[in-house]
Amino acid sequence: MSTLRISTAFPSVALGLLLCMSLLPTQHHAQTVVTVGGESVSADDFAHIFKKNNRDSLVTPSALDEYMELFIDFKLKVMAAEDLGMDTASAFINELAGYRKQLARPYLVDNDLLDAMVKQAYDRTLEEVRASHLLVKIGGEGNPSDTLSAWNKSLALKERISSGEDFAGIARSRGGSDDPSVKDNGGDLGWFSAFMMLYSFEEACYTGEVGELVGPIRTRYGYHIIKLTGRRPARGEMRVAHIMIRPDKNKGEANEAKAKIDALAAELASGASFAELARQHSDDQSSRTKGGELPMFGTGRMVESFEEAAFGLATDGDISDPVETQYGWHIIQRLEYKAPPTFDESKRDLEKKLQRDSRSEQVRNSFIQKRKTEYGYTLDEKRFGQVVDATVIDSTLQPIVVKKGLAKKPILTVGNEKTTVRAFIDFVGTNSGRVDVTNQTAESLLRQAMSRFSDESVIAYEDARLEMKHNDFRLLMEEYHDGILLFELTDQKVWSKAVRDSAGLQAFWEENQSNYAWKTRIAGRIFRCADREAADRILAEATEKEGDVETERREMVSENPLSITIEESRVEEGANPVLDAAFSTLGKPGFTDFEEVDGQIRFVQINSLENPSGKTLDEARGKVIADFQDFLEKTWVAELRARYPHEVNRAALHAID
């Protein structure tokens, strides 16, 4: 069963436990199971939190009764915190608001679309595609005429390729692709998978057919004409080590580099250590000290010839023939292979990637559109037009001045809330510094602003209603509300008080000294020796009246580091099984006989025995503080139970199943 005892050493854990104990007052649809200080709790809510904290326990009357007592204590403490006004403190309000902002995020997205896009991304990670592209940047000021010009150029290039001209030749030609890498790759992007390209580009590639010419596709870089050139199953990831020999082209050392890599390959074939040769000869300074080891990588992370050679190795430990790249010559050893992960293994990582990707905008926009439909969103176009007429554009979007009567009029409606023209004008003023007004009209600028303003208004409207729409969110927020309060007040009343109240701690210890005593304490040494000769040697020194065991030990270790170890301790009976056994055998100071244990010769010296005695406060401080905390909490709970009335409906409680 759960318990409310919390260690002062683990406040964050304590908060987590306390959060799980909270409930909101009853809803009208459920029977009251308990009333604490005039606040009722429903059977449904109590059942929810009981099962949350007792997932593996049977629901029995005795278990429910026991948990109910813990719950009443919890609610009494929260009620005391509220009576002290702790829930109105700015620090509490800000902390709870911060938690709410985080907890609300999953409720403010289209989770159906999110799940579908995560699954789509996973399916795409199981396949790799290869494509070539031509990029046409949008020049000038990015106005409509510049965009149209780039569009027409893209279509013209596509037509030339469709007519049979060489893709790479057009890409490299004057007036061809604006991608600066085209001079090296002819537009070939190599193999890639999900999240390695912009989503619109990725979408075009994964929905196209091999050999198909696609586009123009618009991204933030401009327009793309894409030719899909291949598909294959995902390769997974590989961890390898490599030895690299980099020729100095200025000195014409190409032949020398090839001769050296071939010589190293011969050494490896003869059984030489790959890691050692890498440390001695590799020109890759970043990996040579690690025996040539490189970080785990997948498709598209290495140059293609290196990648092909690495993934061509069949088993861990296999070594490639020399491979040439633009960086020099390499010999590669496979260290570890990881197959593509399952959906469950990769889901969390994919969700994080999606949140940082343009896909997240689609999820957000879908959510907003659904809420607009649900709440009957409307924009008053007539009033929007009046705002447009009142707007002045200079180098920035100037403050909008409208008639006082118009400023108070509603301009958009979401559900039962109407938002005024003044609120929209204030929003524009706050965000005008981020707006590029170049070649834009007042209407286009304000349309963009209204789009953002509407989206934020819809999300804010939904956010304010989460507790009403989602019972699990309501309960979760109440957990955090009550948990924060309870943590703060319990810290004041119990945890920190037990540490700070030195006089109270001293008095508590004096009243309960009999509870804090040492058992019989054993002082002794355990000798573990490599052989009988070493045991005889150290025993002879230990039994001498003037013997110097430590000097003898150091001398023996200098001759053989494994010859002897000595463990010396002074502990209570029961704390060290070896000393306990020696004490049981001897019953007094002395030496035990030799015995062979784990291939060593072991014997024990009992130096002294100390009879049971009382502990000082310093010796017992940790246990005394813990017991004092228990005392303070029990006293506090008794006071609260006397102060606030509480009543349990046992019939409703025992009906929970």
How many C-beta atoms surround the C-beta of residue 147 within 10 A?
A: 16
* Distance between CA atoms of residues 328 and 313, nearest Å: 20
Q: Which residue has the higher pLDDT, 18 or 387?
A: 387
Confidence at 532, pLDDT banded by 50, 70, 90: very high
How many other CB atoms are found less than 10 A from the CB of residue 138?
20
At residue 27, the pLDDT reads 41
Lowest-confidence pick of 142-146, 316-320, 617-621: 142-146
Query: CA 648 to CA 657: how far, in whole Å?
Result: 17
Please tell me the predicted confidence (pLDDT) of residue 9.
Answer: 31
Interval 197-237: pLDDT, tens: 999 999 999 999 999 999 899 998 999 999 999 999 999 99
Alpha carbons 116 and 122: distance in angstroms, whole number: 10
Residue type, position 565, single letter: T
How many Å from the N-terminal Cα to the C-terminal Cα in the chain? 17
| Long-range contacts formed by 571-579: CB under 8 A, 24+ apart | 571/521, 571/522, 572/518, 572/519, 572/520, 572/521, 572/522, 573/519, 573/520, 573/521, 573/522, 574/519, 576/522, 578/526, 578/602, 578/604, 579/522, 579/524, 579/526, 579/604, 579/606
- Beta carbons of 100 and 184 less than 8 angstroms apart: no
Place of tokens 């208004």: 457
Q: What angle do CA 597, 599, 602 make, to 5 degrees?
A: 40
What b-and-e string marks burial along 547-575, b requiring 16 or more CB atoms within 10 Å of the CB?
A: eebeebbeebeeeeeebbeeeeeeeebee
pLDDT at 16 over 50: no
Interatomic CA distance for residues 317 and 285, integer angstroms: 22
Mean pLDDT of 603-615: 93
**With b meaning 16 or more CB within 10 Å and e meaning fewer, what string describes 326-353?**
eebbbbbbbbebeebbeeeebbeebeeb
User: Are 646 and 72 in contact, with CB atoms under 8 Å apart?
Assistant: yes
Chain-centroid distance of CA 314 in Å reads 34
Q: Name the more confident of 459 and 57.
A: 459
Query: Is residue 409 scored above 50 in pLDDT?
Result: yes
pLDDT score, position 26:
37
Task: For 24-37, write each residue's pLDDT tens digit.
Answer: 443 434 689 999 98
pLDDT at residue 253 in the model = 64
The predicted structure's pLDDT at residue 4: 29
Burial tier of 224 (Cβ tally within 10 Å: 0-12, 13-18, 19+): buried
Q: Is the pLDDT of residue 570 over 80?
A: yes
Smallest CA-to-CA distance from 484 within 88, 2, 48, 44 is with 88
**Residue-level pLDDT at 189:** 92
- Which one, of 365, 462, 363, lies nearest residue 415 by Cα? 462
Percent pLDDT > 90 in the chain is 68
* φ, ψ at 283 (rounded to 5°): -90, 0
Mean pLDDT of 590-618: 93
pLDDT-based confidence at residue 7 (cuts at 50, 70, 90) = very low
Residue 110 has pLDDT above 80, yes or no: yes
Q: How far apart are CA 189 and CA 192, in angstroms?
A: 8
* CA 84/CA 70 separation, integer angstroms: 22
At 295, is the pLDDT very low, low, confident or very high (cuts 50, 70, 90)? very high
Distance CA 59, CA 404 (A): 64
Average pLDDT over residues 300-311: 92
Contact by Cβ (8 Å): 473, 103: yes
- DSSP per-residue letters across 344-390: HHHHHHHHHHHHHSTHHHHHHHHHHHHHHHHHT-EE-HHHHHHHHHT
Question: pLDDT, tens digit, for every residue of 61-99?
Answer: 999 999 999 999 999 999 999 999 999 999 999 999 999
Q: Is the preceding omega at residue 340 within 30 degrees of 0, hence cis?
A: no
Q: How confident is the model at residue 437 (pLDDT cuts 50, 70, 90)?
A: low
CA distance 384 to 87: 42
